[in-house]
Amino acid sequence: MLLLQALPTSIGVAAIAPALLVLWLVIAADERPGPPARVWLAFVLGAASISLLGVARAPFAAILAVPGNPWMTQGLRSVFGVAAPEEIVKVLVIIAVSLPVRRRTFADPMDTVVYGAAAGLGFAAYENLAYLVQHADMWRSLAALRSVLTVPFHGALGIIAGAYIAIARAGTALGAHRHHRDWARISSWCLALFAPVALHAAFDFPLLTLQKHPDLGPATRMLLGAASLLIGFSSIGFAIRLVRRVGRHHAPRTEVARERLSQLRRMWALLLVGSGAGFAGAAFVLTSLHHWFVNPDRNASLLLIPLGMTSILIGLALLLATSAVYVFGRNRIRTSSEGFSSAPEPG
């Protein structure tokens, strides 16, 4: 019990593990996973983008309230106080991370989808951690609820933004509006921002209303809760559909390609496990140090710090080893694949 009280490492793991799991599922749908460094950059920048929310909210400060109309006020706050600022910073992260990819002669559109997922899930992981720490007395039930819906929802919004950016850049290559190419590009760029904002606002409006008006009747509360759940899971389903739409044009066609994809997925799984172990170890050490400074009985914390350092070392070792395996294995698989593809077909 003392260990759990002194160490909210479990909270940290509960906060970040769902985001890493969803990120793995998105990466597993990609035949040619992009560079790990760029995926992690999108994840970290997505988490760091929370610090820009104040700047993103500033232009909307004057339109967040309608005197005498609480429902309209709640709607404006859902759109311009929460959804628009959060999705704007995520889209900026996706564009910033995917810009260097665009300069290549050929860029896999799924890369942008993965970067979108990573940015959205990085944001969700940081937000999730903040919520769980803030409500430490009920973190288990809150973690279960958010891991099922809120974290995948943020990832889904990032996927939707990344998919529409990929579609806008690819044009007719993804089979969209072949006879209206210019309109397809413009509409896709618009949907990259407006679709996540609309879905996010629709998801938040019932929840914020329930929070703001606790005296609502049971039927109204049930209806608002059901509406939020429906929008959240529908958004996740829509994101899955977009992933399949983009990924369908890059599905493995040969046995060699399918084997290569299987090996890349295993490598990525190890990368995620290594990163999660390192994060857990870091949380272990930091919270133990905090307990050391605030608790007069320092003996317990002194014992926890070596355990945390051990966890960090294990996580870093696994991360470095799997990164090396990924880099060298990916090159070997690519070489083997090119060798097979260049071989003459049998009689």
| Residue whose C-alpha is closest to residue 304's, from 315, 288, 291 | 288
The pLDDT value recorded for residue 74 is 86
Separation between Cα atoms, residue 57 and residue 64, nearest integer Å:
10
Separation between Cα atoms, residue 37 and residue 272, nearest integer Å:
12
Separation between Cα atoms, residue 203 and residue 227, nearest integer Å:
8
Is the alpha carbon torsion for 73, 78, 79, 82 positive or negative?
positive
The pLDDT value recorded for residue 37 is 80
For the chain, residues with pLDDT lower than 50 are 1-7, 102, 105-106, 176-177, 337-347
Q: Which amino acid is at 140?
A: R
pLDDT digits (tens, 9 = 90+) for 8-19: 556 666 777 788
Q: Give residues with Cβ within 8 angstroms of 147, minimum separation 6.
A: 14, 17, 18, 128
Q: Look at the block and give the residue holding tokens 């035949």.
A: 31
Q: How many CA atoms lie within 13 A of 281 on its CB side?
A: 20
| Cα 183 to chain centroid, rounded | 29
The pLDDT value recorded for residue 297 is 58
Domain boundaries, the chain: 1-252, 254-337
